[in-house]
Amino acid sequence: MRRQAEAAGFEVYTADTGAAGLKLALSEKPDVILLDLGLPDVNGIDVVASLKRNPQTAPIPVLVWSGSDVSEGSAKAYEAGAIGYFDKIEIADLMAKLRELLDHE
Where do the structural domains in the chain lie, given as residue ranges?
2-103
* Ordered per-residue pLDDT tens for the chain, 105 residues: 788 788 888 899 999 999 999 999 999 999 999 998 889 999 999 999 999 999 999 999 999 887 765 566 788 999 999 998 877 766 667 777 777 877 765
Second CATH level (architecture) for the domain 2-103: 3-Layer(aba) Sandwich (3.40)
Amino acid (1-letter code) at residue 5 = A
Amino acid (1-letter code) at residue 41 = D
Given this model, what pLDDT does residue 37 score?
86
